[in-house]
Amino acid sequence: MKHFLAAAALVALLLFLITRNVSSDPYVYDEADYMYAASLGYFANWTDTPTLPLPDFLRIGLSRGRQTGGRQELSEFIRQSKDIVFYRHWHGPFYHYFLIPVSQLGLNEQGVRTALLAIPVMTLLAIYFGCLWLMPGTLGLLTAFLASVLFLSSFTVFRSTELAPHQLFALCYLCCLIFLAKTVATGRRSDWYGAVIMAALAFCTLEVAFVAILTLMICGYIERERLQMDWRFAARSVMLFIATVLIVWPAAVFKLTFVKSYIFMAYLALARKGSWGNTGFFGTWGNRILSSPLEWAVVAFALILYLRRPSQKDHRLVYPVLIFAILMLAATGRVLSDSARYSLPFMPALDLFAAITLAPALSLIRRPATLAIAGLLVVAAVLEAFNRPYRSDPHPSAVLQHIRQANLTDKALLVPQSDLPMIHYYFPATRLRGYYTQQPVAADLEGFAPDAILYP
């Protein structure tokens, strides 16, 4: 009973921090496209219908991507084809299985965003009860409490309230890591299979799930003797992964949709400059650290302690988490943005690593030391939330209001590319072309006669 009361208190604290950042603004860019994909329903997302076949995707991308203005033409072509994978921004459909029912409840924008906070709540509960399961007794309780407080007080978590699959991805990979740590502790194959299933669900959510798969392979090799690894066991693991993917996202296998996703994300990371923003390396990391300085200090202290005492018994449990975090930091190194959600692929893993590493040391001191650290983390998060409250952006509402007042809801419009997804979602009868420059140029009007031009 005490654990349920503790978990309820932690959830209440998370909701206190996170609901302050829920926007009531219209859906913009990513959110608008995600909502449009959700409006197409379960079957369309499950089967990726409609979507360009992989050969056509490669042919069109290579030919039009090389032309002058090809980026604009390619975007316009794919939107007109109603490619559902494009509208999911090349992510898997697992997040949309949560978004679809919520989007059909008749809630406003703030209501939909608030309802999807159930995902970080589930993540918090998974962390708390997962740590209790991972390490029994007082040590497990200490780890569960510290990991939960690190998670709920993280700027990365309580600022990520927009519609996006990153919170769900965090839930999937954290469950995978907890199962993997339990495998290290027990050597049980059942725990390993649990990690495989959660890695498959992460694969059906975000492309960077390949890090979870790589972590599984590394840990499987390290633990091969305890797991009695042989070709049959490896084959069963692969088949379980594929079976899970077939249930959740069959198009990934039958239409090779995941290949398109990885190709496009590689293109964004390697070929297109500023795909996630123009903040820069030092600006991105400066903002991340200054937004949660105490959280980063705890992680840094845990890393120092781990490196100084690598042979400590409890540290063995945490090496899968550390491997994942390091690989994820490397995989997302090109994602330079001050948006909090882009830290979700690695920050909760670092928090879990810190909690598992520090808990044994804190248990040797006194319980008030843990309470003091947790209290400081919560106070720092509350101060951050109140000192930098979420500020509404008047621009999206102003754009939509102007279109309504000017009777442009069914007209041909030349609009800034950043506004195009929002306008398409709210006014599907419009015919749209986007431009990427500060002002439209002559090339933007070739073959397109707009009834009106909207300016930034």
Amino acid making up residue 453: I
Instruction: With a cut of 70, say whether residue 192 has pLDDT above it.
Output: yes
**Phi, psi for residue 283 in degrees, rounded to 5:** -65, -40
Round to whole Å and give the CA distance between 54 and 52. Answer: 6
Token pair listed for 108? 């406003």
Task: Quote the mean pLDDT of the chain.
Answer: 86
Instruction: With a cut of 60, say whether residue 426 has pLDDT above it.
Output: yes
The larger pLDDT score, comparing residue 139 to residue 102, is at 102
pLDDT at 359: 83
pLDDT at 113: 96
Which stretch of 86-90, 172-176, 322-326, 347-351 has the lowest confidence by average pLDDT? 86-90
Q: How confident is the model at residue 370 (pLDDT cuts 50, 70, 90)?
A: low
pLDDT tens across 15-40, in order? 988 988 898 899 998 899 999 999 99
pLDDT tens across 239-250, in order? 999 999 999 999
DSSP assignment of 25-37: SPP-THHHHHHHH
Q: How confident is the model at residue 256 (pLDDT cuts 50, 70, 90)?
A: confident
pLDDT at 336: 77
Instruction: With a cut of 50, say whether residue 380 has pLDDT above it.
Output: yes
pLDDT at 75: 67
pLDDT tens across 216-225, in order? 999 999 988 8
Round to whole Å and give the CA distance between 367 and 239. Answer: 45
pLDDT at 167: 96
In whole angstroms, how far apart are CA 306 and each of 54, 356, 379? 45, 10, 26
Average pLDDT over residues 288-312: 84
Instruction: With a cut of 50, say whether residue 258 has pLDDT above it.
Output: yes
Sequence-ordered alpha helix ranges (H) in 81-136: 84-87, 96-103, 109-115, 118-134
Instruction: With a cut of 90, say whether residue 442 has pLDDT above it.
Output: no
**Phi, psi for residue 433 in degrees, rounded to 5:** -135, 135
pLDDT at 368: 67
The larger pLDDT score, comparing residue 311 to residue 75, is at 75
Ramachandran bin of 200, using left for φ above 0, alpha for ψ from -120 to 50, beta for the remaining angles:
alpha
The larger pLDDT score, comparing residue 278 to residue 184, is at 184
- The pLDDT > 90 percentage for the chain reads 44
The domain spans of the chain are 2-21+115-387, 395-453
pLDDT tens across 104-158, in order? 998 999 999 999 999 999 999 999 999 999 988 888 888 898 899 899 889 899 8
Average pLDDT over residues 412-439: 88
DSSP assignment of 38-49: HHT-HHHHHHT-
The larger pLDDT score, comparing residue 170 to residue 441, is at 170
